[in-house]
Homo-oligomer: A and B are copies of this chain.
Amino acid sequence: MNKGGKVMKLGLCTGTYSDLPLDEVCRLAVLYGYETLEIETFERDNLHLDIHTIFDGDNIRKFKKKIQDYGLEISTLGNHPESQLVMGPFGQDTDDIYHGTKEEKIKFGTEAVIRAAQAANEMEIPVVVGFTGCENFGRVCQWPDARAWEREEEIFAQRWGKILDKYDEYGVKFAHEPHPNQMVYDIETAQRSVELLGQHKAWGFNFDPANMMMYGIDVEAFIDLLGDRIYGVHAKDAQIVKQNAGRSGLNPHGNYRRIDRGFRFRIPGWGNVNWQDVITELSMVGYFGPLTFEHEDITMSRQDGMKKTAEFLKPLLIDAPFEGRSDLNFRF
């Protein structure tokens, strides 16, 4: 009955399994029923893709073929760490990503983000996922400087505006993932960013509900309000740990693995995200693309996560939009 091609798919962030050869990751993906991959393009310790040699010869064709031979598809490229450097923070906090002065980091980050667009263009991948960065995230608070965030917004518009122009040239979109320590971390800042960037066509979002849970955001409202700018979806969940939340709050500091945190990233289905509601609204705004799983769940092994997520999420993916009824009982 349901003909036509719009279907939601189950995707996988390969970066999670960066200690395994890409072939092994593909085999696991196929085993558990994943259909699309997100590939990281950052330089350091990246066994899956070498951004510097990928453009050589027919490396790109070979890379794509390897994935296709597993019956898989690359949905997106990702580069969260290096895109962070466009806006910071600088200093020691990002030295692991790239060691340099503030200016060197901005330059490195900017080039890396643009290089990802180039790769996406050559690989015919429509979207690069990443972060905007943010020099001092404490500025969302009006104390001690009520104007500080506003000043950061101006810099953001300038730096990212230029990058996005390059994206336009490559015919690729940049999907920022709202998250703490970014200029865009909730619905209002997402709406604000669209405005600041003059409705730039290349600008959009990678919707990851877990990242917004720690600010109490209504993630379904994000979809309804920004649906036409959602270019990607991360299937990650977040658990408000009720027995801890009153003490550590929703924004706890310190190691993800300690037992007494009030907030934990989880695999889909094990946190407070209502995936049926999320998938419903994605369907209502016409998003029929991949939901890409990323394992940041410190309560279970990564392979268990891959298996449990597929078992949980795949039956929920909506096959096709409502085609209407016209019988006497219900005409819509």
A171 to chain B, nearest CB (A): 26
A219 to chain B, nearest CB (A): 9
A80 to chain B, nearest CB (A): 6
Chain B residues contacting A20 (CB-CB under 8 Å) are 1
The 8 Å CB contact of A327, one of B16, B247, B254, is: B16
Assess whether A69 is interfacial by the CB under 8 Å rule.
Answer: no
Query: Could you tell me if B259 and A270 are in contact, using CB atoms closer than 8 angstroms?
Result: no
Assess whether A137 is interfacial by the CB under 8 Å rule.
Answer: yes
Query: Could you tell me if B218 and A246 are in contact, using CB atoms closer than 8 angstroms?
Result: yes
The 8 Å CB contact of A301, one of B19, B246, B320, is: B320
Query: Could you tell me if A301 and B328 are in contact, using CB atoms closer than 8 angstroms?
Result: no
User: What is the total number of copies of this protein in its complex?
Assistant: 6
Size category of the A interface is: 35 or more
Query: Could you tell me if B40 and A97 are in contact, using CB atoms closer than 8 angstroms?
Result: no
The 8 Å CB contact of A329, one of B40, B188, B243, is: B40
Residue of B nearest to A323 (CB): B301
Query: Could you tell me if A329 and B81 are in contact, using CB atoms closer than 8 angstroms?
Result: yes
Assess whether A111 is interfacial by the CB under 8 Å rule.
Answer: no
> What per-residue 1/0 map shows which CB atoms of A260-295 lie under 8 Å from chain B?
101000100110000011001101110000000001
Chain B residues contacting A218 (CB-CB under 8 Å) are 242-243, 245-247
Chain B residues contacting A315 (CB-CB under 8 Å) are 308, 311
A-B pairs with beta carbons under 8 Å apart, 23 shown: A15-B327, A15-B328, A40-B327, A80-B329, A89-B138, A93-B145, A134-B138, A138-B180, A142-B255, A143-B179, A186-B251, A187-B248, A212-B249, A220-B243, A221-B247, A257-B332, A270-B280, A283-B299, A298-B332, A299-B321, A299-B322, A301-B320, A302-B325
